[in-house]
Structure 1
Amino acid sequence: MNFIKRALCSVTRKKGKSLILFAVIFVLGNVIAGSIAIQQSTQNVEKSVKKQLGAMATVEIDYENNQEEIMNAGSEIEQLKVDLIKEIGKSPYVKYFDYNAAGWAETKDLKSVISDSEEFGGMEGFSLKGSNYPKISDVEEKKIKLVDGKVFTQEDIDNGKNVGLISSKVADENGLSVGDQMVIDMRGNDYGEEGGTKELFKLDVPIQIIGIFEPTTIEMKDTDEKKSEDQTINQQFMSMQQINTIYLPNKTVVESNKNYLEKMKKVAPDSHYFEGSDEDSGEYYTPIYVLKSPDDVEAFKQETEPLLPKLYTVRASTDQYEKIGGSMKKMSQISGYVVMIAVIATLLIISLVVLLFMRDRKHELGIYLSLGDKRSHVMGQIIIEMLIISGIALILSLITGNFLGKLVSESLLNSDILSTTNDQAGMLMGLESLSPTELTADDIMNAYEVKFSVGYIVTYLVVGLGTVLFAAILPLLYIVRLNPKKIMM
């Protein structure tokens, strides 16, 4: 009888020992399978959420970590130079980049869309958003959808032509369409201490409409009861801001800002409007870098931050997950620790159990060796026995362990063990400009799901079978040291 048949007979004849080994591997296998299921699920959540958030980054002043220094520096903080913005844009991680000038126009003749909400009562005017990228990054990243007309040409950008894109609601409000000439009547107002407003001047900026867009971020679910009141208000504010945004070439925005400042200085040189301002305030740019993959964010940060002026940092769209995905990270860490502990425990327990069984079978093994059987065959018999029993146990625990992982993770998520601070509003300020998705802790929890996947099955079987084979090393060393003459005496 060859050693393979002996192994099969040994497993079926010695049912008690086989069941003990099966039970040990099954219990430990459930722990490993459950932990791997949780770990794989948390990693899948991180990947899917970051993919949804996109791979966009910007460079901005780090208010969060340098509040005192920024307060002391005031208007002396160094502004980002266009040359540095372009140098960063040459990074191999960058797919394309843009940098945006910003402006604001209070208007009367050109009507902005007013919200019915009391939260935004009296907010009239338009955000002027410049672009150096003809295709417009917000169009490319699907923050807005072009419904009529076209985007800029390179000539529009280079020459700073007075052409722009407006939202469909603003177009309807003012009876405008593509090809029409609209006038942004920028009003210079003086706000009195008692709350009164006095108009000082009007500056007309003629703009030819070349495109009309619709925001893709204004879709709101009125029945979504999970959103807090603050989150709903914030989303409404972002929606109204997007609707009342006019896209223009950078040079057009910069020129209108400079003209406005010059006019204001002539009319009201002592106005509080100029406190902390300087001559270059109209040429402040916000860079936007669209990376090739969300996986490149950390590498891009490490490469870029040494190049930045003091007090600046890199912010990315995926930072939303980093800020409020703490529960998933904790659960992933916990499951990782449990996998390591379970593997170590499995190695020790299986090694000791099998070694004890080997001692009881010392005479059986001695007979095989004394009859001339090779040690390699005897060792092969033991390995086959272990693989048969462990294979059945691991396959069964693959199913029950997944179910166990689901129960444990749901229990952890509903407990206070993984709770993180909820005060994230200030930390997420500004990140909404990088991603069309406003991420909440509930979004992350809802994305979490423990399920069977090829990655889970392969990882578990590799870890499980690898652990069993490593556990066989000690019993095999025992066989190598067996002396059949002493055993048979």
Structure 2
Amino acid sequence: MNFFNRTWRYVTRKLSKSVLLGITFFMIGNLVLIGLGISDAANNAKILTRQSMRAVVNYEVDNQKFWEYTNSLESDEERNEAYKNYPKIDKEIALNISQDERVKAMNYSVASPMYSDGFENVPLGNEEKKAENGGGGAVMMEDGTQFEYKEPNIMIQTNIVPDSIEFVEGTNKIVDGRMYNQDDIDNANKVAVITKELADVNGLSVGDTIKLSSMQANQLPYFENMGITEDMTKLELEIVGIYTTLADVDPNDERFNWMSPYESPKNFILIPGTTIAQFNYAVSKASYDYYVSQGQPDMVGTEPTLENSYNASKVVYLLNDPLEVDAFVEDHKVDLKEYTFLNANNEQFKKLAKPLDTLSFFANVIVWIVALNAVVIISLVTALTLKTREFEIGVLLSLGVSKVKVVMQLFMELLIIAVIGFTLAVGSGSLVAGQVGKMVLNFQQSASEEEITSDNNVYYWAGDQNYFTEITQDELLSNYEVSISIWLILEIYILGIGVVFVSIVIPSAMIMRLNPKQILLA
């Protein structure tokens, strides 16, 4: 009679013991299934939420950390020296990071409000309301004179690569002509890509030229003595492309009545970053030379160069996969200079996901506690049972049955009962896991006293767009749903096999170390 037959006969003959062990495995299976189901649901909710978010990472200056450093300095001289070396985005590092195969597009952009010269901006629709609220105003100059201030109406958007995030994602689309290319960037060509709305309002087309000014005409006399000429404040551009954009201002926004024309995406003009760098350099160099001639070089800091005339406040990377964001940050954070960092908006995500993380932690702890207790309980029951079966084991060994087969018989006896218990647990656990998961999540939410703050109401200047997908905790938790998958069921059975194996090995070792004669005489 092989050990399979002996196994089955023992399980059916000792029916009361088998039923009690089956109930034990059934209870263990239910608890483990609920615990793993809750943990799995919490992890899936975070993954689904991440997948719904835009896969962007910002390369930024860590202003908070830098200010903490400067505040720790003891003297004003040390602080002033630190301010002179204020951290900046490193262009070479930014470009090296952009070569990562996970990067789809990069926005190394600088935005500058300017004045249209000889053409009109696209109206926002808030002009009357803004006039009622008193748009514009008088500005006092150093010499005591005043001039009427007129706000800029065009936003210059630049990049140092041709493909921006907006075009890759489909927010912007070229409908006539082309986007500026790498040759335009390398040679700082004075080319522009304008919106279709701006082209329609002014009857412009590809090949036409437009003029922009960095200041109002009535401002120029106050700067002429510094060597800043009218030509330095004018930028003439050839239109090489016209694009449409899905972006627009929201008329229901509480800030709408006070918005400036340049805040409308319809008034954005795209030009190469090198072009605006040359334009800015001419003015800043003239200002620097003037203050040096006046013996006041500290008024403008270090001598300007063409390279430092284009400084982005942040660089935005669009990745292929939202789930690669954390790995991307981890891989490249070692490349960064001090007081700069890669921001994936993880802090806000972690705050929102805290109830799920807490839930997952306790669920995993419960699974481990149940598994360890199961090993102890089953081992104890097996050890007590083996004490009553010493004669049977001794006879089998004396008949030439190997110790391995004896242990396999004991293992199979428990495994059969465990499979039956866990199978029943899968059926009942699938019915109650979802309800238990919801109850535990609701309790966790109500027990949490931390107030979650969101950046949804933070105003972002039109030139410094926020590319992060803002989510609420309700949106995150709406993805939480406990369900029993085939993989989860496999985990249950694997865990059960492990529990049975450990429960048999420990007590069996006490008997298997003896020979048949010692067992029979014990």
d(CA) in 2 for partners of 1:219, 1:354: 71
Change (3 A) 1:364 1:176: farther
Cross-structure match for 1:114:
124
Task: Give CA-to-partner distance per residue, 1:336-384, whole Å, 9 cap, x none.
Answer: 3222222222221221122223333444444444554433332222111
TM-aligned CA deviation for residue 91 of structure 1:
5.4
* Residue equivalent to 2:455: 425
CA distance in 1, matches of 2:217, 2:367: 65
Question: Which residue number in structure 1 is paired with residue 29 of structure 2?
Answer: 29
Partner Cα distance (1:382, 1:428) in 2: 66
**Offset, 1:77:** 0.6
User: Matched residues in 2 for 1:394 and 1:218: separation?
Assistant: 58
Equivalence for 2:53: 53
Using the alignment, how far apart are the partners of 1:206 and 1:455 within structure 2? 61
Helix, strand or coil for the counterpart of 1:447?
coil
Q: In structure 2, how many angstroms separate the alpha carbons of the residues matched to 1:339 and 1:276?
A: 64
d(CA) in 2 for partners of 1:387 and 1:186? 81
Q: Shift of residue 4 of structure 1?
A: 0.6
Task: From 105, 108, 111, give the equivalent of 1:102.
Answer: 111
Deviation of the 1:211 alpha carbon: 3.0
C-alpha contact (below 8 Å) 1:41/1:450 kept by paired residues: yes
Asked if structure 2 preserves the Cα contact closer than 8 Å seen for 1:101 and 1:131, the reply is yes
Match of 1:250 in 2: 273
- Please list the CA deviations of residues 88-136 of structure 1 after superposition, one character each: whole Å capped at 9, or x if unmatched: 44557656645223222255953245376999x9687343221122222
Answer with 1 or 2: which has the greater Rg. Answer: 2
C-alpha deviation, 1:254, in angstroms: 2.4
Instruction: Note if contact 1:61-1:311 (Cα within 8 Å) is conserved in structure 2.
Output: yes
**1:403 shift after superposition:** 4.7
What's the CA shift string for 1:293-322, capped at 9, x where partnerless? Answer: 555544544454444333222212656534
How big is the shift at 1:48?
Answer: 3.3
CA drift at 1:474: 1.7
**CA, structure 1 residues 356+156, in 2 after alignment: closer, same or farther (shift >3 Å)?**
same
Deviations 1:11-68 (A, max 9, x none): 2232221121112112122222222222223333333333333443232111344434
Task: Find the counterpart in structure 2 of residue 78 from structure 1.
Answer: 87
Number of residue pairs aligned between Structure 1 and Structure 2: 466
Q: Secondary structure at the match of 1:442?
A: helix
Given that 1:317 and 1:435 are in contact with CA atoms closer than 8 Å, whether structure 2 keeps it comes out as: no
- Equivalent residue for 1:215? 246
Query: Is 1:340 the equivalent of 2:368?
Result: yes
Task: Give the structure-1-normalised TM-score.
Answer: 0.77
Give the 3 Å change call, closer, same or farther, for CA 282–35 of structure 1 in structure 2: same
Q: Kindly state the Cα deviation for residue 161 of structure 1 after the two structures are TM-superposed.
A: 2.8
What is the deviation of 1:456?
2.6
1:402 and 1:450 in contact (8 A); partners too: no
Corresponding letter in the other structure for 1:21:
L
C-alpha change, 1:172 and 1:388, in structure 2 (3 Å) is farther
SS of equivalent to 2:271: strand
Per the alignment, in what secondary structure is the counterpart of residue 343 of structure 2?
strand
Distance change (3 Å), C-alpha of 1:294 and 1:42: same
- Distance across 2 between alignment mates of 1:470 and 1:339: 16
* Cα deviation code 1:147-176 (max 9, x no counterpart): 555333222222233333344555555565
Distance 2:196 2:45 in 1: 36
1:201-257 residue CA offsets vs partner (Å, 9 max, x unmatched): 98454351503132369899x9xxxxxx99x99xx99x9655543322112332444
Question: In structure 1, what is the Cα distance between the partners aligned to 2:67 and 2:424?
Answer: 56
Q: Classify 1:319/1:94 alpha carbon distance in 2 versus 1 (closer, same or farther; 3 Å).
A: farther
User: Which of 296, 310, 331 is matched with 1:283 structurally?
Assistant: 310
* Cα 1:260/1:104, change in 2 over 3 Å: farther
The Cα shift of 1:335 comes to 2.4
Please tell me whether the aligned partners of residues 74 and 276 of structure 1 are also in contact (alpha carbons under 8 angstroms).
Answer: no
Letter of the aligned partner of 2:478 in structure 1?
Answer: N
**Match of residue 15 from structure 1:** 15
TM-score, structure 2 length as denominator?
0.73
8 Å CA contact retained: 2:61, 2:87: no
2:270 maps to a residue whose letter is Y
Letter paired with 2:269: I
Matches for 1:191-270 after TM superposition, within 5 Å: 203=234, 205-208=236-239, 210-215=241-246, 242-258=265-281
Tell me whether 239-248 or 60-69 shows the greater mean CA deviation: 239-248
Distance 2:218 2:485 in 1: 64
Aligned ranges 1:407-446 → 2 under 5 Å: 407-414=435-442, 415-417=445-447, 420-425=450-455, 433=465, 435=467, 437-446=469-478
User: Identity, % of aligned pairs?
Assistant: 24
Question: What runs of 5+ residues in structure 2 fail to find an aligned partner?
Answer: 72-78, 136-150, 220-229, 291-297
- Stretch deviating more after TM superposition (447-456 or 105-114): 105-114
Amino acid at match of 2:446: D
Change (3 A) 1:293 1:438: same
2 CA distance for matches of 1:309 and 1:429?
29
Cross-structure match for 2:139: none
- CA drift of 1:70 comes to 6.0
Q: 1:32 to 1:185 in 2, by over 3 A?
A: same
What is the aligned partner in structure 2 of residue 313 from structure 1?
341
